Amino acid sequence: MEFNQKVIVVTGAASGIGLALAAAFVREGAAVIASDRNEVLGAQKAQEIGARFVPADVSREEGVKALIDDVLAREGRIDLFCSNAGIGVGEGPETPDKTWDLIQRVNVMSHVWAARHVMPHMLERGDGYLLNTASAAGLLTELHSAPYAVTKHAALAFAEWLSITYGDRGIKVAALCPEGVWTPMIQNAPILQQTAITTDELVGKTLAVLREDGFLITTHPTTLKGFQLKAQNYDEWISKMRHLRGKAMALLHPQGEETRA
Ligand SMILES: NC(=O)c1ccc[n+]([C@@H]2O[C@H](COP(=O)([O-])OP(=O)(O)OC[C@H]3O[C@@H](n4cnc5c(N)ncnc54)[C@H](O)[C@@H]3O)[C@@H](O)[C@H]2O)c1
């Protein structure tokens, strides 16, 4: 797709990847609706980049629906909906259910609710694009947080399913699967910081795939290399990940006070 004069919604647009994507779409000539649950920062950033701000908490279906209703009422259509808001919380199985529930709502159900409420409109027009931010953790894993790894796998699975199911009816779907990107999200993940790219680099890679109406967006060659190893030899991949987790924990806790989830 080309972005000029398109109506593009981005959630989680007060910070990091969402903010960078929203700013890039504005530069491309799109009418951008930036959304976030952080009303103060979101409104300030949207004003700085030239987007319209609509506050929304995507951990609740009503929040996602109200955002979509607002844009359809004001702008009349949605060409690209970027379900980008995400959180990284929890560690292992001891993580309380309420934390599992929250991350499931933000990282997975927000994509389901977006599709539920925007898809009828897109199907009616026979055109529309969904960009769902998953993560390389959806193809591989995340070394610090089981809830993050699990929900990003689910987010990717949902994006695949949508593309397979609606691709022949004019609906395009993309899954954004970055490894480390310099945003507040990786402030406690030194292993990701070692190879992190800037949000500008991420924007370049993302827009290139969207221009081609593509599905999978990765940011590091290691992602697909790891994914291929996982498919070819799961045991060897698990063993490599174990080794990498040891390295990640050593970087996170240099005094060795904590080595387990
Ligand atoms: N930074 C990375 O290395 C990286 C790598 C892979 C995937 N991701 C994914 O990219 C997306 C953006 O992350 P980021 O790195 O820009 O993080 P970030 O923390 O900088 O930005 C996330 C934004 O989402 C908003 N948000 C959180 N919960 C929300 C909710 N319930 N409703 C509405 N907004 C909410 C936050 O207020 C924040 O502005 C996430 O889905 C994340 O999982 C990030």
pLDDT in tens, 54-72: 999 999 999 999 999 999 9
Residue 113 lies in a domain: yes
206-245: pLDDT as tens digits:
999 999 999 999 999 999 999 999 999 999 999 999 999 9
199 C-beta closer than 6 A to ligand 1: no
**Residue range(s) defining the domain that contains residue 199:** 7-222
- Write out the two tokens for 243: 């080794």
Q: How far is the CA of 168 from the centre of ligand 1 (A)?
A: 30
pLDDT (mean) for 13-41: 98
Residue 199 lies in a domain: yes
CA dist., res. 61 & res. 52, Å (int): 21
- For residue 257, what pLDDT is reported? 58
Residue 10 near residue 34 (C-beta atoms within 8 A): yes
79-125: pLDDT as tens digits:
999 999 999 999 999 999 999 999 999 999 999 999 999 999 999 99
Whether the model pTM is above 0.85: yes
Residue 229 lies in a domain: no
Torsion angle of C-alpha atoms 29, 33, 38, 39, degrees rounded to 10: 110
CATH number at residue 189: 3.40.50.720
Nearest CA to ligand 1 atom 41: 86
Going edge to edge, which strands form the sheet with 7-11?
52-55, 31-36, 7-11, 80-83, 128-133, 171-177, 216-218
- For residue 28, what pLDDT is reported? 98
pLDDT (mean) for 151-180: 98
The answer to whether residue 10 scores a pLDDT higher than 90 is yes
234 is catalytic: no
Residue 65 near residue 119 (C-beta atoms within 8 A): no
- The count of structural domains within the chain is 1
106 C-beta closer than 6 A to ligand 1: yes
Residue 123 lies in a domain: yes
